[in-house]
Structure 1
Amino acid sequence: MMMILLLCSVIFFTILFSKKQSRWKKGKTPPSPPGLPLIGNLHQLGRHTHRSLCSLSHQYGPLMLLHLGSVPVLIVSSAEMAQEILKTHDVTFANRPRSKLSQKLLYNNRDVASAPYGEYWRQMKKVCVVHLLSNKMVKSFQDVREDEITLMMEKIRKSSSLPFNLSKILECLTNDVICRVALGRKYGGETDFKKLTDRLSELLGTFSIGSFVPWLSWIDWIRGWDAQLDKTGKDLDEFFEKVVQDHEYGNHQDRSDLIDALLTVKREKSAGFDIDRLSIKAITLDVFVGGSDTSFTLLEWAMTELLRHPESMERLQEEVRTICKGKSRVSEDDTQEMKYLRAVIKEALRLHPPFPMMAPHESTEDVKLRDYHIPAGTQVMMNAWAIGREVATWGPDAEEFKPERHLDTSVDFRGQNFELIPFGAGRRICPAVSFAVVLNEVVLANLVHGFDWKLPEESTEDKTDVAESNGFSVHREFPLYAIASSPTT
């Protein structure tokens, strides 16, 4: 009986897959690697998807069609094609595909990052830009950033001249800043909360078999993936519900934070529409996950590359210490003059975008890209990692860390230049770019201003590639250990 049911399932989904394939036969289709029956190209993704797809794109081109089970997915690996999709056809590709993961963890797609393109998304993005992420709001949290940087520097001084886990200190810093800005107080020291955020980060980078091969969705249940989604979603909601209640009843710190701002918008109806409780929690989750993980990943990779390239470290230190001569710390105003600092950050983002495979887009109507027919409902994934290493754009030394390449160019990462899109571009660009960048600049400047740095003697990082973690957000697989000492005069 079980064999008959299994055979029927295979036949049913093979027919379904064939019908979906027929939509692609209306015109010329992009190049595609040969796949296997039913699972398509799933077996070719590899442990590090961005690297596997970059290798495939060298053979099949910058616009490549994969079939991940029954789901057609366009893989974009060049600045030229990214511009055509995110600028020329931006409206067509502004939607997000729905998934079980986003429904369970992201309040059924009520957050800004995963919400379907439409009026709800427009209104929620406006709330974020106007009430949460404006220059005035970013400036208002300057004292929070200064407080936490001071604490970070003190921790490093206590470990002076001995190898210490710099990754842990940077993670703690970014977590504490975002907690205070978004939630009103620190939660990083609470074991249960740290475990919850680690579970969330891990799940966001996991792969759901049933999303791409529906007839194998039972595997997600067997391996406990569905149960993990349910429990993590429930625990997250309970945590954020408690935080919102604390704000409503005044049981948090005196200073205003992002939840206070959202509750004010809700109470005064100043957004022009009714923002409900679930939306407040969804936006807060976006800010926390995006702000904390992105900043930590960037700072960790920037320090990794500077330690592996002492000549770049020395040049950055010379710039920072010259501008801040006689000062005990670097202020946010000081960083405005630091051209090489911005070049280092751009180069770190080019080589190590926090999210190498950007959040997927989905076409809402048939469209032609070059001479290729792309039907409605096609998912599109931008390989920001591959675009940042494209030889046609960056030259034969594209794999090398060279901040100098950014000194005489206007290329930036704020969505206007498609050769550098770590935060996306077009309508779905991350609205918190300025919020993140101001923290990264002032933290990195203070680190190189306050200390001389070197790798431990036993480290081989100056000679070998650094292993990457696996998941949606890609940081180092192993913590960065470094030695900090007082600057030599």
Structure 2
Amino acid sequence: MNTHDLDFLSRPTNAATDSILYGNNNVFFGYQSEFRRQIRRICVLELLCAKRVRSFRAIREEEISHLLQSISVAAGEAVDLSSKFADLSNNIMARAIVGGRCKEQALFQLALDEVVQYNSGFSIFNLFPSIPKFILRIAGWQKKLDRCGQKLDGIAEKLLQEHIQKRVNFFSTSHEEQDGSFADEDMMDVLIRIQQNGSLQFPLSNENIKSVINVLSICFIYIDDN
């Protein structure tokens, strides 16, 4: 990636990434710019730094323990290990990125599955990205992607507002540290802190935060599964 990063960035975008990552201003599928460099720096120094990655160890150990217990309880019965491991990845992702499991977790997973399915394998629209968008709509492709994007956006927006309110409640009863951080921050908390500190050259919007969360979710679940 260090050698060919600019080549990856110059590749054409596609309808799927536009639908779930809010256009081109994201860390993976965005053109090279100062804004993208800032987002990437946040990911490297804040979200995926050695200290934070080490903090995931306890989460992984707890979730693996739960997995082993569930398999032990089902002794003598057939166990769908594919489903179990998918749930394991999903639960680790939820706890690391948004601080815990949520009611919408299954819906979020299904929407991500749909996006990955639509964007996997051979697609004439990805092979020829210059195809006009109205063709995508006539074929029904864009409608499906928009529906998935709306599902993901609705869930991510709800989680974002809950985290913002949690932050307000915390600092209304506690003494804020100089950088605005607090113990047990998840990845969404970190992004909100950076947004509210206003330390970036370019403002970090709610859509930027949701885009990073969606990218991290895909990486946690699908890259880990493979």
Structure 1 length-normalised TM: 0.39
- Structure 1 residue 152 and structure 2 residue 67: aligned? yes
Match of 2:99 among 166, 184, 202: 184
Match of 2:185 among 207, 232, 256: 256
- Structure 1 residue 116 and structure 2 residue 34: aligned? no
Question: 2:43 corresponds to which letter in structure 1?
Answer: C
CA deviations on 1:95-145 (whole Å, 9 max, x unpaired) are 242222222221102221111122222111100011100000111232222
Question: 1:126 corresponds to which letter in structure 2?
Answer: R
In the alignment, the residues of structure 2 paired with residue 262 and residue 128 of structure 1 have an alpha-carbon distance, to the nearest angstrom, of 9
Q: 2:63·2:88 contact (CA, 8 Å) conserved in 1? A: yes
- Indicate how the Cα distance of structure 1 residues 113 and 188 shifts in structure 2: closer, same or farther if over 3 A, else same: farther
1:226 Cα shift? Answer: 1.2
Q: 2:20·2:211 contact (CA, 8 Å) conserved in 1? A: no
- Indicate how the Cα distance of structure 1 residues 134 and 272 shifts in structure 2: closer, same or farther if over 3 A, else same: farther
**Other-structure match for 1:163:** 78
Partner SS for 2:75? coil
Q: 1:266·1:275 contact (CA, 8 Å) conserved in 2? A: yes
- Structure 1 residue 266 and structure 2 residue 181: aligned? no
CA deviations on 1:151-174 (whole Å, 9 max, x unpaired) are 011011123344321111110001
Q: 1:221·1:227 contact (CA, 8 Å) conserved in 2? A: yes
- Indicate how the Cα distance of structure 1 residues 241 and 216 shifts in structure 2: closer, same or farther if over 3 A, else same: closer
Q: 1:102·1:108 contact (CA, 8 Å) conserved in 2? A: yes
Partner SS for 2:166? coil
**Other-structure match for 1:204:** 119
- Structure 1 residue 282 and structure 2 residue 211: aligned? yes
1:86 Cα shift? Answer: 6.6
Whichever of the two has the greater Rg, that structure is 1
Q: Which deviates the most, 173-182 or 230-239?
A: 230-239
In the alignment, the residues of structure 1 paired with residue 190 and residue 132 of structure 2 have an alpha-carbon distance, to the nearest angstrom, of 44
Question: 2:41 corresponds to which letter in structure 1?
Answer: K
Question: 2:154 corresponds to which letter in structure 1?
Answer: E
**Other-structure match for 1:101:** 16
Q: Residues 17-416 of structure 1: matches in 2 within 5 Å?
A: 87=3, 90=4, 93-95=7-9, 96-187=11-102, 190-205=105-120, 207-211=122-126, 212=128, 220-250=136-166, 255-271=184-200, 273-297=202-226
Q: Which consecutive unaligned segments of at least 5 residues does structure 1 have?
A: 1-84, 298-489
In the alignment, the residues of structure 1 paired with residue 122 and residue 21 of structure 2 have an alpha-carbon distance, to the nearest angstrom, of 16
Question: 1:170 corresponds to which letter in structure 2?
Answer: F
In the alignment, the residues of structure 1 paired with residue 21 and residue 38 of structure 2 have an alpha-carbon distance, to the nearest angstrom, of 17
Which structure carries more relative contact order (alpha carbon 8 Å, separation 6+)?
Answer: 2
Tell me which protein shows more helix as a share of its residues. Answer: 2
Partner SS for 1:250? helix
Structure 2 length-normalised TM: 0.81
Partner SS for 1:164? coil
Q: 2:67·2:84 contact (CA, 8 Å) conserved in 1? A: yes
In the alignment, the residues of structure 1 paired with residue 23 and residue 75 of structure 2 have an alpha-carbon distance, to the nearest angstrom, of 47
Tell me which protein shows more strand as a share of its residues. Answer: 1
Partner SS for 1:93? helix
Question: 1:258 corresponds to which letter in structure 2?
Answer: M
Measured on the aligned residues, the alpha-carbon RMSD in Å equals 2.8
Question: 2:214 corresponds to which letter in structure 1?
Answer: L
Partner SS for 1:112? coil
1:190 Cα shift? Answer: 5.0
In the alignment, the residues of structure 2 paired with residue 192 and residue 202 of structure 1 have an alpha-carbon distance, to the nearest angstrom, of 15
Question: 1:243 corresponds to which letter in structure 2?
Answer: L
- Indicate how the Cα distance of structure 1 residues 246 and 223 shifts in structure 2: closer, same or farther if over 3 A, else same: same
Q: 2:97·2:213 contact (CA, 8 Å) conserved in 1? A: yes
